[in-house]
Amino acid sequence: MSRVSWAALAAAIALALIPSACASPPHTGAPRHACITDFDPNADYFPDKSTVVDATNFTLSYHRSYQVLTVKQPYPNASPESYVLLRCGAPAPQLTGELAHAQQITVPVASLYSASTTHLGMLAELDQTDVVSGVAAAATVVNPALRQRIQAGKVTEYAPGAQVSVEAVVAARPGVLVTAGTDDPSYAKLRDAGIDVLADAEWLEATPLGRAEWVKVFAALTGTEKKAGELYGRLRGDYGKAAEKAATARPVEVLSGTMQQGTWSMPAGGGYAGQLIVDAGGSYPWAGDTRTGSLQLNFESVYAKAGFAPRWLVTSDWKTLDDVLAADIRYGRLAAVREGQLWSASSDYWERGAARPDLVLADLVAILHPELDPDHEFVFYRQVTRG
- Residue ranges of domains in the chain: 58-229, 249-383
Per-residue pLDDT at 117:
97
For domain 58-229, give the fold: Rossmann fold (3.40.50)
User: pLDDT category, 2, cuts 50, 70, 90?
Assistant: very low
58-229 and 249-383 agree in CATH topology: yes
- Report the range of poorest mean pLDDT among 4-13, 244-253, 376-385: 4-13
User: pLDDT category, 317, cuts 50, 70, 90?
Assistant: confident
Span 325-365, pLDDT tens digits? 999 999 999 999 999 999 999 889 999 999 999 999 999 99
* CATH, domain range 249-383: 3.40.50.1980
- Report the range of poorest mean pLDDT among 19-33, 66-80, 314-328: 19-33
Span 11-38, pLDDT tens digits? 433 333 333 333 323 334 556 567 999 9
- Asked if pLDDT for residue 47 goes beyond 80, the answer is yes
Is residue 240 a contact partner of residue 268, using CB atoms and an 8 Å limit?
Answer: no
Per-residue pLDDT at 347:
87
Across the chain, what does the average pLDDT equal? 91
